[in-house]
């Protein structure tokens, strides 16, 4: 479902970004032999099918296993960032409850299905109230991406949940728990799926690399891990897209494939921002941005991590971060990138002036106290 869409989102970036910025990355030339699983996105091919195959979320898996074993499964609410195993967990749980033919005991609705008030009233009610011949297990209604449901539909769900608790469990999955009305939250047991642990993700990615015989350099692998940021789906999608596009997956290939700015380019940019005069800093960054086809929003996202590593005086750091955050908001509203880039350069020039002033005042104070 969602993962296939994500895969498609990665693929065009490969096609467009790579030629412009392939410094050090060689495109895939030879054809590889196709095997059966080649048609599946790797996120689906390597989706854990049993609860104990899931990595990182051990406390949650343990609790859920115990609830199933003691026949006390409550309604569930899984929330947390993307690619952390919410859908995988619920599907594995459904399989554990009802065996390989679990599909007939599950009603799965996600954001692409209509889940307005009518569906809640009719489809969910019909499924929850119907009896399944030859199956005695619990029925599951999985509402994936529940944060996209209208409030009216969520209110309608309250009553349905209570009415059919005897035979049915409701599982709500979402990224933003604050978009689920409190009345629904209180009817479910909440589990937060945090970003996955790096070392466990690394093992899993290495397993896929071995299975798919990818040619990945150590720098390429750490770039994939860095960009994934605890999102397993992202790491597998980037790996597959790079494998399709390049013979060797090195750092440059990973950044080119995802359209993200290289760390070396960012350091160069930061150097211009801090040291070059306004006009030349603006022109050089603009030239780099155009040559590599980078988006200012991506540049800003990674730039702020570098800024945090520099020891600016505290008031200057506060000023820079606040201004960069404001700039991010403006960019998210679709403002003109060139004007915002000029504004970014201006902000850094102002920060330089503030640093200088801060330093002068500090020197003065030191001189006074020495007298
Ligand atoms: N804990 C995990 N262990 C192993 N693989 C995982 C885990 N979490 C995610 N994955 C991998 O990432 C893919 C996407 O995971 P999943 O669909 O479960 O994410 P999600 O939390 O439902 O994300 P979203 O919030 O975007 O719906 C899976 O197919 C699987 O390959
Ligand atoms: Mg999901």
- Residues with Cβ < 8 Å from 90, sequence gap 6 or more? 76, 78, 140, 142, 144, 171, 173
Tens-digit pLDDT profile for residues 237-285: 999 999 999 999 999 999 988 888 999 999 999 999 999 999 999 999 9
User: Helix, strand or coil for residue 100?
Assistant: coil
Q: Does ligand 1 come within 6 angstroms of the Cβ of 234?
A: no
47 lines ligand 1 (CB under 6 A): yes
Asked whether the predicted pLDDT for residue 1 surpasses 90, the reply is: no
**Residues in a beta bridge with 169:** 140
Residues of the chain with CATH 1.10.8.60: 2-46+197-258
Q: Which regions of the chain carry the CATH code 3.40.50.300? A: 57-192
From CA 254, how far away is CA 238, in angstroms rounded?
7
Q: Which atom of ligand 1 is nearest to the CA of 174?
A: 25
**Cα 362 to Cα 17: distance, rounded to the nearest angstrom:** 47
* Average pLDDT taken over every residue of the chain: 86
| Ligand nearest to the backbone CA of 43 | 1
Domain with CATH 1.20.272.10 in the chain: 263-359
Ion ligand 2 residues within 5 Å by Cβ: 86-87
Is the CB of 169 within 6 Å of ligand 1?
Answer: no
2-46+197-258 maps to which CATH number?
1.10.8.60
Q: What are phi and psi of 192, to 5 degrees?
A: -100, 125
Please tell me if the CB atom of residue 233 comes closer than 6 angstroms to any atom of ligand 1: yes
Q: Architecture of 57-192 per CATH?
A: 3-Layer(aba) Sandwich (3.40)
Q: Is the CB of 46 under 6 A from ligand 1?
A: yes
CA of 84 to the centre of ligand 1 (A): 5
Condensed to tens digits (0 to 9), the pLDDT of residues 39-82 reads 789 999 999 999 999 998 899 999 999 999 998 999 999 999 99
Per-residue pLDDT tens digits for 322-370: 999 999 999 999 999 999 999 999 999 999 999 999 999 989 999 988 8
Does 1.20.272.10 match the CATH number of domain 263-359? yes
């Amino acid at each position: 479902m969602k993962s296939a869409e994500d895969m498609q989102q990665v693929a065009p970036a490969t096609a467009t970004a790579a030629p412009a910025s392939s410094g050090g990355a060689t495109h895939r030339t030879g054809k590889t032999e196709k095997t059966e699983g080649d048609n599946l996105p790797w996120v689906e091919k390597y989706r854990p099918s049993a609860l104990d195959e899931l990595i990182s979320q051990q406390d949650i898996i343990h609790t859920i296993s115990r609830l199933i074993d003691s026949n006390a499964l409550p309604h569930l609410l899984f929330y947390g960032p993307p690619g952390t195993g919410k859908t995988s967990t619920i599907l594995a749980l459904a399989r554990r409850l009802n065996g390989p033919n679990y599909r007939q005991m599950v009603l799965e609705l996600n954001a692409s299905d209509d889940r307005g008030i009518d569906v809640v009233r009719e489809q969910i009610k019909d499924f929850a109230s119907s009896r399944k011949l030859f199956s005695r297990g619990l029925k599951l209604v999985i509402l994936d991406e529940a944060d996209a449901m209208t409030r009216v539909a969520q209110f309608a769900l309250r009553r349905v949940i209570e009415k059919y608790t005897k035979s049915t469990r409701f599982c709500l999955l979402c990224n933003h728990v604050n978009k689920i009305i409190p009345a629904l939250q209180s009817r479910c047991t909440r589990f937060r799926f945090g970003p996955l642990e790096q070392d466990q993700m690394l093992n899993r990615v290495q397993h896929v690399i071995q299975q798919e015989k990818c040619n990945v350099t150590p720098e390429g692998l750490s770039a994939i891990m860095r960009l994934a940021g605890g999102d397993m789906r992202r790491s597998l999608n980037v790996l597959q897209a790079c494998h399709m596009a390049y013979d060797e997956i090195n750092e440059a290939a990973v950044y080119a494939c995802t359209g993200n700015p290289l760390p070396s380019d960012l350091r160069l940019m930061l150097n211009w921002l801090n040291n070059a005069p306004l006009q030349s800093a603006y022109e050089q960054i603009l030239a780099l941005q155009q040559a590599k086809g980078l988006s200012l929003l991506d540049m800003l996202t990674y730039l702020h991590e570098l800024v945090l590593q520099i020891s600016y005086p505290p008031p200057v750091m506060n000023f820079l971060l606040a201004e960069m955050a404001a700039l991010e908001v403006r960019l998210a509203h679709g403002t003109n990138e060139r004007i915002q880039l000029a504004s970014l350069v201006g902000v850094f020039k102002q920060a330089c002036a503030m640093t200088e002033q801060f330093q002068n005042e500090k020197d003065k104070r030191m001189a006074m106290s020495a007298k």
